[in-house]
């Protein structure tokens, strides 16, 4: 991997982190009046996956969408404006954090019904195959999705027609406050995909290079007619399920667990690697931080300066 590629993997992760930290901080002002699910701690997956994609490739996401959206190249200002409910938001304010879209970069949409976009991603891959375009589609899905029947239906159909889709499972072991072992029997998730007839791999989702290289292979397979590919990545959600805060006080997971999750920070880990290998130095780091800081405050300024929609706007576009 080129040094430049490594640096962009790193800064893409850092950018997502900083954006979300800024969102978390400013959420308390109560001007972003919508539910928000942060992906802090899980950035390596979003970034590793999207780095292996072309702009024309498609991505479908879920309630925890910020990272996917940004990694795929989604417009930061339009995202922040969306959280502030402004007309310049990527959905004109109609969606909020749980509904992001940027068709220009192949980010097809995110919605919060668990598993809800998975069959849509399959449909997108199906369309590519019908139209004969070379695009692949990525479906980001949480560990919770494997309890939803529609996800199995999606796996079955994509395997049946050997569609160019890559399922990326972000396994953070939780659905809200419920651990996986209270929702699923003791068996690996990727085996489900395997049983549906597609190649499946499980790996550490905190290692951005590993994520990216696995996805690169999967994309190549999918793009070359070898059908759907499945990747399961471990991850750890640092903050509360929904909202900006940490949630140690709820005690549904131990402080040790949270600490060990945070100690496995994909960004710190990668920074260390890059510093050690000389691919990055302290100054470059500072430069990246500064650049991100500038971009983030510009996005907030843009959002706050944007005009507010009214109920009149809300009457529009019920039908195409």
Partner 1 sequence: MHDVAERQLTFAEAIRESLDQAMEKDSRVIVIGEGVPDPKAIFNTTAGLCQKYGARRVFDMPLSENGLTGACIGAALSGIRPVMIHQRIDFALLAMDQLVNNAAKWHYMFNGKASVPMVVRMIVGRGWGQGPQHSQSLQAMFAMVPGLKVVMPTTAHDAKGMMIAAIEDDNPVLFIEHRWLHHVSDNVPDYYYRVPIGQARTLHEGSDVTVAAFSYMAFEALIAAKSMSMEMGIGLDVIDMRTVRPLDVESVLTSVRKTGRLIVADTAFRTGSIAGELISQVVEQAFSFLKAPPVRIASPDFPTPTSPFMAEDYYPGPQTIADAALDLMGKTKEADGYRRMSAVLVRKGPHDAPNREFSGPF
Residue 8: phi and psi, rounded to 5, are -75, -30
Restricting to residues 108-147, name those near ligand TPP by CB under 6 A: 112-114, 142-145
Spatial CA neighbour of 229 closest among 240, 238, 241, 216: 216
Measure the N-to-C terminal CA separation of the chain; round to a whole number of Å: 45
Tell me: does residue 143 bind Mg ion (CB under 5 A): yes
Restricting to residues 173-192, name those near Mg ion by CB under 5 A: 174
CB of 15 to ligand TPP, least distance (A): 20
Residue 196: which of a second copy, ligand TPP, Mg ion, none does it interact with, CB under 5 to 8 A by kind?
A: a second copy
CB of 108 to partner 1, least distance (A): 6
Angle at which helices 118-131 and 149-160 cross, to 10° = 20
CB of 146 to partner 1, least distance (A): 9
Residue 164: which of ligand TPP, Mg ion, partner 1, none does it interact with, CB under 5 to 8 A by kind?
A: none
Restricting to residues 74-113, name those near ligand TPP by CB under 6 A: 112-113
CB of 167 to partner 1, least distance (A): 13
Torsion sign across C-alpha atoms 146, 147, 152, 154 = negative
Strand partners, 155: none
The pair of structure tokens assigned to 118 is 């998975």
Give the interface with a second copy as residue ranges (CB under 8 A): 146-153, 156, 159-160, 182-187, 191-192, 194-198
Each residue 127-156 as x (binds partner 1 by CB under 8 A) or -, in order, gives xx-xx------------xx-xxxx-xxx-x
The pair of structure tokens assigned to 188 is 């690996």
Residue 56: phi and psi, rounded to 5, are -75, -15
Kindly indicate which of the ranges 168-176, 214-222, 266-274, 281-289 contains the residues binding ligand TPP, using the contact rule CB under 6 A: 168-176
Contacts of 112 (CB under 8 A, 6+ apart): 35, 62, 63, 98, 99
Residue 310 φ/ψ region, left for φ over 0, alpha for ψ in the -120 to 50 degree band, beta for the rest: beta
Residue 140: which of Mg ion, partner 1, a second copy, none does it interact with, CB under 5 to 8 A by kind?
A: none
CB of 134 to a second copy, least distance (A): 22
């Amino acid at each position: 991997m080129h040094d430049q590629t490594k640096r962009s993997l790193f800064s893409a992760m850092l950018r997502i982190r900083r954006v979300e930290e800024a969102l978390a901080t400013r959420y308390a002002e109560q001007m972003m009046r919508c539910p928000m699910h942060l992906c802090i701690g899980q950035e390596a997956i979003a970034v590793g996956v999207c780095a292996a994609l072309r702009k024309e490739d498609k991505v479908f996401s879920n309630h925890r969408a910020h990272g996917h959206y940004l990694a795929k190249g989604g417009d930061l200002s339009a995202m922040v404006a969306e959280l502030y409910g402004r007309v310049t938001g990527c959905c004109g304010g109609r969606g909020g954090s749980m509904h992001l879209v940027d068709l220009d970069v192949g980010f097809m949409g995110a919605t919060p019904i668990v598993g809800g976009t998975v069959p849509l991603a399959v449909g997108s891959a199906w369309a590519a195959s019908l139209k004969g375009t070379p695009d692949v589609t990525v479906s980001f899905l949480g560990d919770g999705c494997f309890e939803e029947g529609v996800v199995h239906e999606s796996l079955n159909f994509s395997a049946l027609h050997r569609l160019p889709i890559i399922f990326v499972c972000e396994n953070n072991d939780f659905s809200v406050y419920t651990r996986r072992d209270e929702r699923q029997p003791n068996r690996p998730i990727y085996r489900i995909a395997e049983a549906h007839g597609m190649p499946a791999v499980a790996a550490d989702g905190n290692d951005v290079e590993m994520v990216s290289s696995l996805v690169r292979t999967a994309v190549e397979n999918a793009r070359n007619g070898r059908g759907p590919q499945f990747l399961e990545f471990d991850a750890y959600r640092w903050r509360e399920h929904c909202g900006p805060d940490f949630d140690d006080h709820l005690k549904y997971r131990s402080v040790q667990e949270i600490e060990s999750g945070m100690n496995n920070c994909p960004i710190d880990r990668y920074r260390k690697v890059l510093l050690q290998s000389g691919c990055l130095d302290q100054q470059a780091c500072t430069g990246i931080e500064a650049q991100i800081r500038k971009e983030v405050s510009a996005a907030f300024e843009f959002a706050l300066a944007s005009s507010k929609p009214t109920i009149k706007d809300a009457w529009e576009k019920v039908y195409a």
